[in-house]
Chain A
Amino acid sequence: MFAFSPPRPSLSPELLATLRPVSLAKSRTLPLGEPWRALVPGAGLRRGSTVVVEAPVGLGGLSLALSLVSEASTQGHWAAVVGVDDPGVVAMAELGVDLRRVLFVPRPRGAWAESASDLLDGVDLLLVRAPSRAAHGAARRLMDRVRERGTVLIALSEPRTPWPLPADLFFRVTQAEWVASSRLDARYLTVRVSGRGEAAQGGEHVVVVPNRRGRAEAR
């Protein structure tokens, strides 16, 4: 402050007690559950960012993407799932996704990008599986709107049809291994996490998605 500005009078403790904030300021990240909290920089999904989950077909990409959604969903955020034809509702519930706050557009036909951007305003997390290779322009427009609206876009892709643009956070499943006794017990996924900023150095982790109770956990 200026040299001539008078010293601030100290507030009385009674007055301070009445000035407590009613609620916290809106946070800029969405929470992540186990095991991702320890593996993702910032321990959350930054609003406005794009997350790409890439896995060979049938090797746990969908489970991984849903496990990213689950914690935020439990905490009251809305999510939408676009282009996943036959969602395993029971598996979602086991992963901890709150089904009361999930909207599904299972078969958007040609209009996956349009319905995704329709849903952007209404949900905090948007899980998209593009039907085939996503067009560059559509992906760019979607990511721009996501950044503008503060939603988190989770794009599911396969190595054959990759997401056409670089993502803020990138999960690549390189290996999936089932552990079985008299039934399927757990799946160990080897996941490479990389991205921009703090996530740039990346790292390879082994996580259990799903485990014996259908949840995601660290090994």
Chain B
Amino acid sequence: MEQLLAIWIEPLAQEQPDGSTLRDTLALLDALGALCPFTEVARLGLWVLPLRGPSRFFGGSDAVLRAVRQSVLDVVGVEPLLGVAEGLFCAELAARRALIVPLGASDAFRRAQPLSVLGRKDLTITCQRLGLHTLGAFADLERARVAERFNKHALALHRVARGELSEMEGQRDVRLARRLAQLRGEEDLVEEQRGFFGQRGAGDDRAEAAAHRVRRRLGADAIVVASLRGGRAPEDRATLVPWGSPSVSARDLAPWPGQLTAPSPATTLAHPVPLQLRDAADRPVVMGGRGTLSAEPTAVIFSSPLRREIVWYAGPWPLVERWWSRHSRRAHLQMVLASGEALLVVAESSRWWLVGIYD
């Protein structure tokens, strides 16, 4: 584990209603960031920075401690408690006692701590009745013995006591960084109608309740949500799943070579409609094996006796993918009809299908 310098400032641990705590926290973060750019605020009142780099830069850990103490005095005007140990858990304990735990001694330091530092009253009392008073004695218990008495949070604490985890749950305030960014003006407060600080908002709950109502009325598959996945054609890239089914993992969409370029059809048919293309002599147009058309298409005939003239077309853009599957060769064709509609048509297994309408 990395040797950390923890700074504990009691007056900044409680948030004041006038917002001065956050402003001081931000000012001190800027000042300490000038000493070591890896300084972070674990939670209000507790700052942490890795010691190794700065001590090489300033010439020894004593010089770092002096510089940090001076800069806290300058900015906040309070004497801070400084502690050095390995891992955030030990570092905070050391800071509250103003101790410098030498490198490699953090294990012994942690094992000698009383159980009350874990902050769980039930655990402390039960263990004391069993004659276990220190973290070391607790750590020596078998994992299964802990699991049969306590819940999973106690199991996590057990791992902390053993030194397998470097910090306790709740030791860091995960929302603090976002609040500081908002205070700095880097993040807009009203940009998204989310809940406070990235949680689920009231809007999300309302939407969920509304989706439930529709589902009760029309059945489980009636309400769907959409997401994108990788693929070349628009009909491959869209996923529509019933609302409430396990969410598709949102992968970041990397560039996908050979993708059909934007704009995409605003209507993408889930079930393609068969159609025929005809040339000027009213013969069917077919796709050749090398991705060429047998003739220029001039008209499109839907399965109903509905014939439309084609005024412009582009393509075909053949896609050869999934060569192991039988229906692997596809080719897309964009066309504009005389009525002004634009269509996306695909040739697959020697037939033409309508897959999209640029509605």
Q: B341's closest neighbor in chain A, by CB? A: A58
Question: B240, A115: Cβ atoms under 8 Å?
Answer: no
Specify which chain B residues have a CB less than 8 angstroms from the CB of A182 in the assembled complex: 314
Which of A36-44, A61-69, A131-139, A198-206 forms contacts with chain B?
A: A61-69
Question: B243, A94: Cβ atoms under 8 Å?
Answer: no
Q: List 13 A-B contacts (CB under 8 A).
A: A18-B18, A23-B189, A59-B359, A76-B193, A77-B203, A87-B268, A88-B267, A90-B268, A91-B263, A114-B217, A118-B210, A186-B263, A214-B262
Question: B342 at the A/B interface (Cβ < 8 Å)?
Answer: yes
Q: Give 1 or 0 for each of B270-284: 1 = CB within 8 Å of chain A CB.
A: 100000000000000
Question: B339 at the A/B interface (Cβ < 8 Å)?
Answer: yes
Specify which of B194, B264, B356 is in contact with A76 (CB 8 Å cutoff): B194
Give the complex CA separation of A99 and B191 in angstroms: 17
Question: B210, A66: Cβ atoms under 8 Å?
Answer: no
Question: B265 at the A/B interface (Cβ < 8 Å)?
Answer: yes
Question: B203, A104: Cβ atoms under 8 Å?
Answer: no
Question: B55 at the A/B interface (Cβ < 8 Å)?
Answer: no
Specify which chain A residues have a CB less than 8 angstroms from the CB of B191 in the assembled complex: 75-76
Q: A80's closest neighbor in chain B, by CB? A: B210
Question: A122, B210: Cβ atoms under 8 Å?
Answer: yes
Which of A1-9, A105-113, A163-171 forms contacts with chain B?
A: A105-113
Question: A122, B341: Cβ atoms under 8 Å?
Answer: no
Interface residues of A in 31-72 (CB under 8 A from B): 56-63, 66
Which of B1-9, B170-178, B226-234 forms contacts with chain A?
A: B226-234
Question: A105, B222: Cβ atoms under 8 Å?
Answer: yes
Question: B225 at the A/B interface (Cβ < 8 Å)?
Answer: yes
Specify which chain A residues have a CB less than 8 angstroms from the CB of B194 in the assembled complex: 76
A96 to chain B: closest CB distance in Å?
A: 12
The chain B residues found within 8 Å of chain A, CB to CB, are 18-19, 189-194, 201, 203-204, 206-211, 213-214, 217-218, 222-228, 234, 237-240, 243, 250, 261-270, 312, 314, 334, 336, 339-342, 356-359
Specify which chain A residues have a CB less than 8 angstroms from the CB of B211 in the assembled complex: 103, 119, 122
Give 8 A-B pairs besides A104-B225, A177-B340 with Cβ atoms closer than 8 angstroms. A56-B340, A86-B268, A90-B238, A91-B268, A106-B240, A111-B217, A111-B218, A122-B208
Known: A89-B237, A122-B208, A122-B209. A105 touches B263 (CB 8 A): no
Specify which chain A residues have a CB less than 8 angstroms from the CB of B269 in the assembled complex: 86
B238 to chain A: closest CB distance in Å?
A: 4
Question: B334, A183: Cβ atoms under 8 Å?
Answer: yes
Q: Give 1 or 0 for each of A177-219: 1 = CB within 8 Å of chain B CB.
A: 1101011101100000000000000000000001111100000
Question: A93, B358: Cβ atoms under 8 Å?
Answer: no
Specify which of B210, B263, B341 is in contact with A210 (CB 8 Å cutoff): B263
Known: A24-B190, A115-B222, A184-B336. A94 touches B263 (CB 8 A): yes
Question: B225, A88: Cβ atoms under 8 Å?
Answer: no
Specify which chain B residues have a CB less than 8 angstroms from the CB of A22 in the assembled complex: 189
Q: Which 9 A-B pairs have the closest CB atoms?
A: A122-B210, A214-B262, A76-B192, A89-B238, A58-B341, A210-B263, A76-B193, A90-B264, A62-B359
Give the complex CA separation of A109 and B268 in angstroms: 19
Question: B359, A58: Cβ atoms under 8 Å?
Answer: yes
Question: A101 at the A/B interface (Cβ < 8 Å)?
Answer: yes
Give the complex CA separation of A119 and B212 in angstroms: 9
Known: A103-B243, A183-B334. A91 touches B193 (CB 8 A): no
